[in-house]
Structure 1
Amino acid sequence: MTSASVGAEPDLAFYIPNLTVGGAEQVTVNIVNGLAGRGYDVELVVSHPGGELRTAVADSVAVIELADVRIPGIGIGAHLHKLAQYLGDTEPDILISEKTDANILCLGAKRVAESTTTVVPTEHIAFGMMPDESLKSRGVRKVAAQLYPAANDLIAVSDGVADSLGEKTAVDRGDISVLHNPVEITTVQDRAHEPVSHKWIEDPDTDVLLFVGRHHPQKDLKTWLRSFKRVNDTLPDTRAVIAGRGSETETVRELTVELGLTEVTSIPGYVDNPYRFMNQASLFLLSSQFEGLPTVLIEAMACGCPIVSTDCPSGPREILADGEYGRLTPVGDVDSIATAALEMLDNPTPAAVLQDRAADFAPQTVLNDYEQFIETRLG
């Protein structure tokens, strides 16, 4: 184990496979930093070293790197014994894991180590909603459904995720704690005013429709582009910015060419400061097929950016309060998404209203809930 020496019985440990850019990864960093700032002895355990978010982890949080072992087809399962060794040597009072495969690993490591650590799996996405799952993904979900009833506790990031776990596993819905993701609202708003190098973003007279996130089938960027095509046909001066990267990036580029949108669409890849983009964009458009509690919507609201989102399971309806703070549309419905986008461009939600709602997800509020959850389990 590298990067930091293993401490003696920390209050809390969190496990996530890596610290590359992603919603669950950023949320985990926010939580460990916040709890460490409140005086908890926190360790962050990862399988793989490095990652863009590594430098964002507070100095007060020890980062434990298990080993950079990669075995095709096994993934983080190759680190079962290393994690079991960590639990046996360290015995944190509570280990909170993030993401389904990580949850399985932690529950398995607890058994191997015969550890007394309270293991708490966290689900960030509506359980069992992944369309066209691979054989491996289906296997991971089935194993998780079998193991979750034996977990000490279970965390869901939204009511919708909790409901899906209650429906698709043997865990009683009343035994699932809903803890929202904390979002560093102040940091987001501070960074929203930093300059960035993008001509459309920095042009106050250009209406930009924005997406920020992974280019993954879950996000349904094909529907996003087709919806923007309808908007651009009506308002030719609009522009699209699709920031991020992923397995669908080349597909997105190819569809941009096919739809004749290359001159009005920018695909800049990973952007270090997406908040400036949100601050200047006219609309944030989310076309996801499913989510958990999409942090990106909260960040966009913190920047005062109007929102149109699919009413996917789950999170957008919860964040937007049944449509009070943004438009909700059916999943995959290009006409409805385009119509909602045009209406929002014509009559945007006031920035101050959005920012007030975003404050409900600020760290102080969410970390209070985490503290209450933790203290009841520390005894």
Structure 2
Amino acid sequence: MSESNMSISDRSHKSDEHLNMNRWHGELWNDECLNDERLRDDRMQQTRYMEQAGQKEARPRIAFFITSLAGGGAEKVVTMLLRGLDPAQYELHLIVNRLEGPYVPLLPFYVQVTELQSARLRSALPILVKQLKRIQPHVVVSHMWENNVLATLANIWGGFGYGTLLCEHSAISYRRALGTDALRGWCYRRSDAVVGCSEQMGMELHEWLGIPDERIQVVPNPIIDHEFEARAAEPCSHQWLSQLSLEQEMFEQQVGQPKERFMLEHGAERRFSPVLIGVGRLVPEKRFDLFITAISRVRELHPHWDVRGVIVGEGVQRRQLEDLKDALRLQNVVDLPGYVSNPLPYLRAAHLFVQTSDVEGLPTALVEAVACGTDVVATCTATGTEEVLCGVHNAALVPCGNMDVIVSKLIEMLERQEQQWLQRFEPQQLELKLDMGLEMKLGAEIGMRIGMDQGQDQVQEQQNASPRGGVAILVPQPDELHTRQVPYKLPLAQSVHASHLQRFTLTEATNRYAELINEALARRGWHHNSAGSEVNNCEITVRI
């Protein structure tokens, strides 16, 4: 009996034959990784799961397919899902054209990696079919539309009969080459499920590609995991932002008054110095040219502000953006530090997160900014952005590509922050004390209780002294709900209800993907009872 005609249950016993033929990611782990206590503990935990798996019956083989592990949102999603799914329940594979990108070191060692190494992805179909014959997956979970098409065509060409979950990460309405939508629609209607990362994308799948509603599944990207708060609390290495975060909080603990007031009393100039941040790949659709130009415009309109900008990310447009920065004489005003493995401390320390994209699926950096409590100005892309910002009060939506509105909203948000900043110089503000009730994490937790009178404009003074001796802070007005006050920010924003952020957790996404995988297995006679991972459960708690 040929491999292509074998039943799924017969194929399951071929797993050991393929084990040594696959490239184990464990070979890529170096001494530096193993010296990291967190990674070492993670590996020990994963090893226990593998030992348990060896005592069970053969597991279904699940292959994730993506071009590479470059520093984009889809690549991060694949990495997190591979870390979240239970290796005791699934034999996990990753198929990439090139094993490259910043997320490679984050792959669990038990994931078996296959590289196609095709000169061009569009010519990779014969190589993909050959590798799929070797792996014999039961379900393929592909990401990005080109890979979705290849996974479908390979299934038909090779006669495999595996289940397909085809995942989209960008707006369907975004203009692409002629015939792309027809090809995608034809392939997607032959899948077990088409996964969109936002509700609006789910609607576009139906309206633009004609996918039946029963085949469309909406699963928001996993962005918040059990390590999110710890990563957000790490110190920021950028010199502009580090001065706005933990260093200032420690200064206040030692000196007993806000740094601005202390410096003013000693002759220092009082000047509002906000830092704006953008995060993403340096590609045309992110429109970081608008980000840089907007900073130039804001500085022209408010020369008394020392506005600066940081763009975290790497990509093909670096040279153009550097040239634009030089042309606008912003050499020491806008910084492009490149890819950063942990952007959360940057987001947490910045005054404003600015999204200027024309196209987004579900903007990862935007969710992270909201979870960090950072004020937001974001372009209203066709999908994702409105859903993320629904109910978020410290955010403003602006039309895509409209420079005048972007600049106007930036100034409006910064003026409000400036007023809060200026009030830190007022003597009466120094009398506000922190008390237990609302917890902030700034390296260590500081408890405080905020008293607000809903019928008055002024924040009422709390009489109880802080157990830490009292740290001055300006409490935001209830109608503004500005939860961040330079430099105080919550790793998980007060202004967002816990259930809103829960949608973007690794636990939520892992369980949903596991359900879809198990449904695809059941259609092919494999009755699998696993839920998601039990390793990386994540609960979001917002303390109010």
What corresponds to 1:353 in structure 2? 495
Structure 1 residues 149 and 359, CA gap change in structure 2 (3 angstroms): closer
Q: What CA distance in whole angstroms lies between the structure 2 residues aligned with 1:339 and 1:40?
A: 51
The question of 1:151 aligning with 2:198 is answered no
Structure 1 residues 50 and 256, CA gap change in structure 2 (3 angstroms): closer
Decide whether the 8 Å contact of 2:196 with 2:216 is kept in 1: yes
Q: What CA distance in whole angstroms lies between the structure 2 residues aligned with 1:83 and 1:129?
A: 27
- Give the match's secondary structure for 1:88: helix
Decide whether the 8 Å contact of 2:193 with 2:516 is kept in 1: no
Q: What CA distance in whole angstroms lies between the structure 2 residues aligned with 1:62 and 1:209?
A: 40
The question of 1:33 aligning with 2:83 is answered yes
The question of 1:220 aligning with 2:287 is answered yes
What corresponds to 1:3 in structure 2? 23
Decide whether the 8 Å contact of 2:236 with 2:349 is kept in 1: no
Match 2:341 to one of 272, 295, 312: 272
User: Bigger CA drift: 290-299 or 357-366?
Assistant: 357-366
- 5 Å-filtered alignment, 1:121-132, equals 121-130=166-175
User: Bigger CA drift: 93-102 or 221-230?
Assistant: 221-230
Which runs of 5 or more residues in structure 1 are unaligned?
none
Decide whether the 8 Å contact of 1:185 with 1:299 is kept in 2: no
- Give the match's secondary structure for 1:183: coil
Match 2:296 to one of 199, 217, 229: 229
Q: What CA distance in whole angstroms lies between the structure 1 residues aligned with 2:368 and 2:331?
A: 27
Q: What CA distance in whole angstroms lies between the structure 1 residues aligned with 2:63 and 2:401?
A: 39
What corresponds to 1:80 in structure 2? 125
Q: State the shift of 1:140 in Å.
A: 4.3
Q: What CA distance in whole angstroms lies between the structure 2 residues aligned with 1:283 and 1:37?
A: 40
Match 1:118 to one of 139, 143, 163: 163
What corresponds to 1:69 in structure 2? 118
- Give the match's secondary structure for 1:181: coil
Match 2:509 to one of 345, 357, 366: 366
Tell me the TM-score normalised to structure 1 length.
Answer: 0.89
Decide whether the 8 Å contact of 1:123 with 1:155 is kept in 2: yes
Decide whether the 8 Å contact of 2:181 with 2:209 is kept in 1: no
Letter in 1 for 2:167: T
The share of aligned pairs that are identical, in percent, is 29
Decide whether the 8 Å contact of 2:59 with 2:89 is kept in 1: no
What corresponds to 1:171 in structure 2? 211
What corresponds to 2:66 in structure 1? 16
Letter in 2 for 1:247: V
What corresponds to 1:104 in structure 2? 149
Q: State the shift of 1:277 in Å.
A: 0.7
Structure 1 residues 242-289: Cα deviation after superposition (integer angstroms, max 9, x where no partner) = 121212212212222222322211111222321111111111100111
What corresponds to 1:45 in structure 2? 95
Decide whether the 8 Å contact of 1:244 with 1:270 is kept in 2: yes
Structure 1 residues 209 and 51, CA gap change in structure 2 (3 angstroms): same
Q: State the shift of 1:62 in Å.
A: 2.0
Q: What CA distance in whole angstroms lies between the structure 2 residues aligned with 1:145 and 1:228?
A: 41
Q: What CA distance in whole angstroms lies between the structure 2 residues aligned with 1:176 and 1:256?
A: 43
Give the structure with higher Rg (CA). 2
Tell me the TM-score normalised to structure 2 length.
Answer: 0.63
Q: State the shift of 1:146 in Å.
A: 3.0
Letter in 1 for 2:282: H
Decide whether the 8 Å contact of 2:59 with 2:90 is kept in 1: no
Structure 1 residues 286 and 211, CA gap change in structure 2 (3 angstroms): same
Letter in 1 for 2:118: V
Q: What CA distance in whole angstroms lies between the structure 1 residues aligned with 2:61 and 2:159?
A: 18
What corresponds to 2:376 in structure 1? 307
After superposition, the CA RMSD in angstroms is 2.4
- Give the match's secondary structure for 1:361: coil
Which runs of 5 or more residues in structure 2 are unaligned?
1-20, 26-57, 245-259, 261-272, 418-480, 484-492, 523-544
Decide whether the 8 Å contact of 1:302 with 1:359 is kept in 2: no
Structure 1 residues 2-37: Cα deviation after superposition (integer angstroms, max 9, x where no partner) = 5239xx773421101111211100011111210136
The question of 1:207 aligning with 2:207 is answered no
- Give the match's secondary structure for 1:201: helix
Decide whether the 8 Å contact of 2:274 with 2:305 is kept in 1: no
Letter in 2 for 1:48: R
Q: What CA distance in whole angstroms lies between the structure 2 residues aligned with 1:228 and 1:59?
A: 43
Decide whether the 8 Å contact of 1:183 with 1:299 is kept in 2: yes
Q: What CA distance in whole angstroms lies between the structure 2 residues aligned with 1:17 and 1:176?
A: 23
Structure 1 residues 189 and 323, CA gap change in structure 2 (3 angstroms): closer
Q: What CA distance in whole angstroms lies between the structure 2 residues aligned with 1:316 and 1:25?
A: 19
Decide whether the 8 Å contact of 1:188 with 1:299 is kept in 2: no
What corresponds to 2:518 in structure 1? 375
Letter in 2 for 1:3: R
Q: What CA distance in whole angstroms lies between the structure 2 residues aligned with 1:167 and 1:327?
A: 28
Q: What CA distance in whole angstroms lies between the structure 2 residues aligned with 1:251 and 1:342?
A: 26
- Give the match's secondary structure for 1:313: coil
Decide whether the 8 Å contact of 1:303 with 1:355 is kept in 2: no
What corresponds to 2:106 in structure 1? 56
Q: State the shift of 1:38 in Å.
A: 7.2
Structure 1 residues 9 and 85, CA gap change in structure 2 (3 angstroms): farther
Structure 1 residues 159-208: Cα deviation after superposition (integer angstroms, max 9, x where no partner) = 11122221221312342111110113443332223234321011118421
Q: State the shift of 1:97 in Å.
A: 0.3
What corresponds to 2:224 in structure 1? 184
Decide whether the 8 Å contact of 2:194 with 2:216 is kept in 1: yes
User: Bigger CA drift: 45-54 or 83-92?
Assistant: 83-92
Q: What CA distance in whole angstroms lies between the structure 2 residues aligned with 1:241 and 1:355?
A: 28
Structure 1 residues 42-72: Cα deviation after superposition (integer angstroms, max 9, x where no partner) = 211112123321110112322222x3231xx
Structure 1 residues 256 and 86, CA gap change in structure 2 (3 angstroms): same
Structure 1 residues 366 and 324, CA gap change in structure 2 (3 angstroms): farther
